Amino acid sequence: MKILVCVKQVPDMASSVTINAEGVWYVDEGLAFRLNEYDEYAVEEAVQLKEQLGGEPDLTILSIGPGRVKEAMRRAMAMGADRGVHIVDDEYYKKDSHQIASMIADFAKDKDFDLVFTGMQSQDRGSGQVGPAIAAQLDYACVTTLVGFEYEDGKITATRELEGGLHAKVKLAAPAVVTCQLGMNTPRYPTLPNIMKVKKKELLEFSPDDFASGDALVVTESMYVPEKKGAGLVLEGDAGEVAGKLLDVLKEKTSIVK
């Protein structure tokens, strides 16, 4: 079995982000970066599947971005992947989800991957479109927002998280693309011996020009930090008192309540 896991390096969400001079992305300098949290669950699920099936599965990590993304890739590889594929692209942020998916699909099209794992979305762009777009271009089955995954004899039983806290079970056959939700499993912490083993693992580099990406379907025209608004109003008391106070506020602030 051949498994591909697509990962992305993103800013630590505790970092202070500023918009770049072009007004279309954030400034990298001074930011702390980490492996996208959703992708950690995808890596863990792929490694668990590899362990379930024994030594046969071949697990590749793929990432697109500047040189710094190797740090996130090495963490993913230390969790149990066999090799890394880095498409070195300093202007990755100018590509939309369709173009990113096209590059991944072009890399994967002749590799006969049985399963492609991705995070449900990235923490910086958050489109949730890359996984399904990869599946469409490879003509693979696809299931998204997974909180459960079972595999046996080429058949997948996936548990999807729906809105309202509902879950749905879906059955499909490989080859397939699956996207992983937070809480799907417990991502392992790479041990020191496994971190040291990464140095001996293959980490291939490619140029974006090696793969077809096509034209952007969506172009970011501007990016900005939302304006700060006034503080919220906290209403205290029992349910009856709070309801009365809320009605008074609505009458004062809006024309909804007469």
CATH of the domain at 90: 3.40.50.620
Compute the C-alpha angle 35/38/39, nearest 5°: 55
Does 254 have pLDDT greater than 80? no
Q: Measure the CA–CA gap between 193 and 60, rounded to whole angstroms.
A: 19
Is the pLDDT reported for residue 218 higher than 60?
yes
Give a yes or no: residue 135 inside a domain.
yes
Helix (H, G, I), strand (E, B) or coil at 135: helix
Q: How far is residue 63 CA from its own chain's centroid?
A: 11
What residues form DSSP beta bridges with 157?
Answer: 150, 171
Measured between alpha carbons, how far is 246 from 233 in angstroms, rounded to an integer? 10
What is residue 195's three-state secondary structure? helix
Number of domains in the chain: 1
pLDDT per position as a tens digit, 145-202: 999 999 999 899 999 999 888 899 999 999 999 999 999 999 999 999 999 999 999 9
Q: What is the pLDDT of residues 117-157, one digit of tens each?
A: 999 999 999 999 999 999 999 999 999 999 999 999 989 99
Q: What range defines the domain where residue 76 resides?
A: 2-210
On whether residue 216 sits in a domain, the answer given is no
In a domain, 234, yes or no: no
Residue 219 lies in a domain: no
Asked if residues 87 and 211 have their Cβ atoms less than 8 Å apart, the reply is: yes
Does a structural domain hold residue 112? yes
Question: For 157-168, b where at least 16 C-beta lie within 10 A, e where not — what string?
Answer: ebbbbeeeeeee
Residue 226 lies in a domain: no
Two tokens, residue 124? 């910086």
* In the chain, alpha helices (H): 37-53, 69-78, 97-108, 130-138, 192-197, 239-253
134 located within any domain:
yes
Peptide bond into 190 cis (omega under 30): no
How far is Cα of residue 113 from the mean position of the Cα atoms in its chain? 19
Domain membership flag for residue 32? yes
